[in-house]
Amino acid sequence: MSIKVKLSAMSLTMALALGLSGCSNQADSTADGSATSAQETTTLRFSHFWPATSAMQTDVFEPWAEKLETESDGRLKVEIYPSATLSKPDATYDATAKGTIDIGSQAHGYTAGRFPLTTITELPGLSNSASQMSCILQTLYDDGTLAGEYEDTHLLFMMGAGPGALHTVDKLIRTPDDMKGMRIRRPSAVAGDIIEATGASPVGLPATDIYTSLQRGVIDGLSFAWSPTGDFRLTELTNAHTNIPFYSSALLVTMNKDKYQSLPDDLKKIIDDNSGKVMADIAGEMFDREDAKFIEEARAKGDQFIEIPDPLNDPAWKEPLEAGTQKYLDDVNALGLDADGVYEKAKAASAACKV
């Protein structure tokens, strides 16, 4: 073999050795002994039903995604899909569980009967603000009271909207009698039972369908917290509002369990550190802030208002609210679940979380 050929062979051998050495310098060893690039990026697809312009998107979800990316040095990226573009509002939890999406946010009320114990937290008299509702939900999840309902996913955090009000196109609802014969959009089974107890007809609709249903006269009004009422532009069509805290909506953000388990421990820790009560508090504060903003906007445009701050002690409202509450608890007890026990724990959490 010529000297030139020998030198070329030696050069190739050295280049390969240096290349392998360089690769080993860029790799980290995982727990199972396999090598993975320190710069490898995991992209998580996150689906929710709020509009892209909503405060939930801009003030909660986007900063959360940015924090994960920053703290992971770019190894975690979250692609957010608002307005139910990646999963239907009532199928987002199941899509997350199945792995169709990586992270999903859904209102519990969209899947009647799927979270019967969690929905107890929506009953009247338990919360008067989104911050209190979010605290109740996260407390009961963290202490194990509600955890069994989420075993098929990795729950990130719970959150609750502010008290649900009654919004109609032009009829101001002062007493339950004013609701008789009306078609009112219900956000959950709890609100549906109470609406039915007043003599109105509860209509189940995802938030994304309410605007057109109001326009077409399919419904006469809706039961909804102020923040989503503004986010979905429903304040454009409604001019009469009854501020009555007869229920509060529960919501969640959860992650596919297998996707979470597949992550290295340091990335799991980053997600864990930005989950739970810290995020429940951020979401609750956002909802309360948005509630106040949209109430003020409605007052400024001259809408009609009536305030019923304590309906459980109001002679006109007490009976339908108690009837709706008892019906829901009876229905859950009939499933063989301890509805009464969870209700007592919810009341204790309510007192502890009172703002």
Provide DSSP, 215-279.
HTTS-SEEEE-HHHHHHTTGGGT--EEEE--S-EEEEEEEE-HHHHHTS-HHHHHHHHHTSTHHH
In this predicted model, what pLDDT tens digit does every residue of 97-154 receive, in sequence order? 999 999 999 999 899 899 999 999 999 999 999 999 999 999 999 999 999 999 999 9
Predicted local confidence at residue 168, as pLDDT: 97
| Rounded mean pLDDT, 26-43 | 55
Compare 227 and 39 and report the one with higher pLDDT: 227
Residue that has been written with the tokens 């923040």 in this structure: 227
Predicted local confidence at residue 288, as pLDDT: 98
Q: Establish if 7 belongs to a structural domain.
A: no
CA pair distance 211, 229, nearest whole angstrom:
10
Taking the CA atoms of 170, 173, 176 and 178 in sequence, report the sign of the dihedral they define.
negative
Q: Establish if 25 belongs to a structural domain.
A: no
Q: What tokens appear for 167 in the block?
A: 């919004």
Return the axis-axis angle of helices 339-353 and 130-142, rounded to nearest 10°. Answer: 130
Judging by beta carbons within 10 Å of its beta carbon (0-12, 13-18, 19+), is residue 118 exposed, middle or buried? buried
CA pair distance 287, 55, nearest whole angstrom:
8
CA pair distance 228, 217, nearest whole angstrom:
20
Q: Establish if 30 belongs to a structural domain.
A: no
Residue 13 pLDDT more than 60? no
**Residue at 9: amino acid letter:** A
Judging by beta carbons within 10 Å of its beta carbon (0-12, 13-18, 19+), is residue 101 exposed, middle or buried? buried
Q: Are 42 and 103 in contact (CB under 8 A)?
A: no
Residue 229 pLDDT more than 90? yes
Residue 8 pLDDT more than 80? no
In this predicted model, what pLDDT tens digit does every residue of 54-71 receive, in sequence order? 999 999 999 999 999 999
Q: Establish if 149 belongs to a structural domain.
A: yes
Q: Establish if 32 belongs to a structural domain.
A: no
Q: Are 316 and 175 in contact (CB under 8 A)?
A: yes
Structural domain containing residue 230 = 40-353
In this predicted model, what pLDDT tens digit does every residue of 157-212 receive, in sequence order? 999 999 999 999 999 999 999 999 999 999 888 889 999 999 999 999 999 999 99
Q: Which of 90, 147, 125 is nearest to 312 (CA)?
A: 125
* pLDDT level of residue 38 (50, 70, 90 thresholds): low
What's the Cα-to-Cα distance from 298 to each of 174, 194, 214, 217, rounded to whole Å? 18, 25, 17, 21
Count structural domains, the chain: 1
Predicted local confidence at residue 69, as pLDDT: 98
Q: What is the separation of C-alpha 229 from the centre of its chain, rounded to a whole number of angstroms?
A: 15
| C-alpha angle 153-119-60 in degrees, rounded to nearest 5 | 60
Q: Domain containing 298 — which CATH number?
A: 3.40.190.170
Per the prediction, the chain carries an average pLDDT of 90
* Percent of the chain topping pLDDT 70: 89
Q: Establish if 27 belongs to a structural domain.
A: no
